[in-house]
Structure 1
């Protein structure tokens, strides 16, 4: 079986490695990302694994030539940034499936992990669906969910999903190997929603509106790609990298404003609108990673208001 992999991220490496370890023929088509480290990591992997590798140089034509000339039985797409035009592949018999790191149809869009963490849903999930003429809109054929754990952040969930999707890939391959139909999951009763790529307002902490739980969820969703959730101090950006709810603030004065530092001597505690405190274990300020207990040296003292 000739299996194609189309991607622009290193998240495809675990399932491509597993396929190759099973002595299956794997062919990789890679669209170089802006992240040079990811690019180098992928190049090192395909060289070490001795996989057939094609790097995209022309986004308008290269993929279509590769698909039409490769005679692949099936292709899995993970993270490819461009809409694949199926009208240009009418004569191509290859089965095309997209691996999406979000439950469908509720988390369509380019960064579903961010929105799942920010929204604080109890169970996070991923899907595999048949490719269609619209992003993340084809029939779902495999889905999996898992509990959202407190230590999960954006990067950890992406790494987790890159492992979990192996199950879905082999589920589909087993059906094909036994010449069995691939059943579709009925999602007609589920709410469909498209979530755009995050902009400034999506990563900004609004102390007057957001609860302590919402702030901690946003911090996780922004770590490490944005170096944390954004707030400000004296007109300068501060990004909170790690935050946890530690206690209720029932003993504080009622006039305390959300976003106010209430302790800065040995740890950094900030008051939130729901009368909870959050402990900031690490933040990013002036291009430096700074532990919460050292923030007093930067002027982040008790009664300082953030945001």
Structure 2
């Protein structure tokens, strides 16, 4: 089929590569170059970089406005495929491809409609993660679903690792749906069940509440790592929690209290402690959590969240 592909982050790359190997990609739509790193160097999106590698035409657009709509409509494609582009597809662009648009979304719809489905699912402690391919409509992630797939994710995986796994399985799922649309066998069914929303995370979502049980604290850590990042306050300064795991062994700590082992810094929660192995103090680089702890003056009275 002749396709237009819209996507921006690394999670969209596996689908782009798979579809480019099997179909004609008339153009790739992605968001403009963004400043990255300490020097804020303008850098093409991961999708733009791969499109250039593959020799595909690229349309860079902050949003799908009249100019972008005209450019895409002029391609006369049969189908549009979108994976985490970062903008809405509205009419008349929504109806421009002969077979409309399909969207790979990283949740088991109708669960977690919105910008941060993987992160919200992890924060919520969901037992299953998955991907869905659905017909794009004007309402948010509400179209009929062609296919879904439950994806196995490691029980301690953070959002970035979970998204990597979902991106690979999602690429295969999308390719199967596009092939079915091409040969006329694809069938989409309405979404069933209660919908939940997954709005974009803010910095406040990364704040760890040590009074909550370990399962909830660790779930939040997983969901907000690496972005916007898990953090707490110590002596009024923010401390980022970069690497952590559910603790093992019988250690009794009050919420927010610290104790160190040879390999980890234990921080008390409402139940068992969280084992933190790597942190980043305010204004400093990342370091071993135990090394940071040893550098504190009054370790006996220090508390997280204070």
Give the TM-score category using the shorter length.
0.7 to 0.9
**How many residues are treated as equivalent by the alignment?**
298
| Equivalent in the alignment of 1:220 | 222
TM-score when normalising by structure 2: 0.88
Among 165, 169, 174, the alignment partner of 2:174 is 169
The verdict on how the C-alpha distance between 1:148 and 1:15 changes in structure 2, with shifts beyond 3 A counting, is closer
SS across alignment from 2:5: strand
For the structure 1 residues 6 and 62, does the alpha-carbon distance in structure 2 shift closer, same or farther, using more than 3 Å as the test?
A: farther
Q: How does 1:39-188 map to 2 (within 5 A)?
A: 39=44, 41-56=46-61, 59-87=64-92, 89-90=94-95, 92-180=97-185, 182-188=186-192
Contact 1:30/1:55, CA 8 A, preserved across alignment: yes
The question of whether the paired residues in 1 share the 8 Å contact of 2:18 and 2:175 is answered with no
Q: Is the 8 A contact 2:151 2:166 kept in 1?
A: no
**Whole-angstrom distance in 2 between the partners of 1:35 and 1:102:** 29
Bigger mean CA deviation after superposition, 135-144 or 263-272: 263-272
Superposed displacement of residue 31, structure 1? 1.9
Is 1:241 aligned to residue 242 of structure 2?
Answer: yes
CA distance in 2, matches of 1:259, 1:78: 40
What secondary structure sits across from 2:177 in the alignment? helix
Aligned to 1:232: 233
* Distance change (3 Å), C-alpha of 1:57 and 1:145: closer
In structure 2, relative to structure 1, the CA distance for the partners of 1:120 and 1:38 (3 Å cut) is farther
- What does residue 194 of structure 1 align with? 197
Task: Measure how far apart 1:200 and its partner are.
Answer: 3.7
- Distance in 2, Cα, partners of 1:170 & 1:94: 15
Shift of 1:257: 2.8
Is the counterpart of residue 271 in structure 1 residue 268 in structure 2? yes
Report the counterpart of residue 12 of structure 2 in structure 1: 12
In structure 2, distance between residues paired with 1:89 and 1:229: 37
1:10-46: per-residue Cα shift (whole Å, max 9, x none)?
A: 3222222222233634521112264547625444322
Match of 2:303 among 292, 302, 305: 305
2:30 corresponds in structure 1 to: 30
* Alpha-carbon distance in 1 for matches of 2:97, 2:197: 29
In the alignment, the residues of structure 2 paired with residue 26 and residue 103 of structure 1 have an alpha-carbon distance, to the nearest angstrom, of 29
Q: Corresponding residue for 2:39?
A: none
C-alpha RMSD over aligned residues? 2.4
CA distance in 1, matches of 2:151, 2:23: 30
CA distances 1:203-259 after superposition (whole Å, capped 9, x unpaired): 211112x21111112112222223x31210010001112222223546x4xxx5311
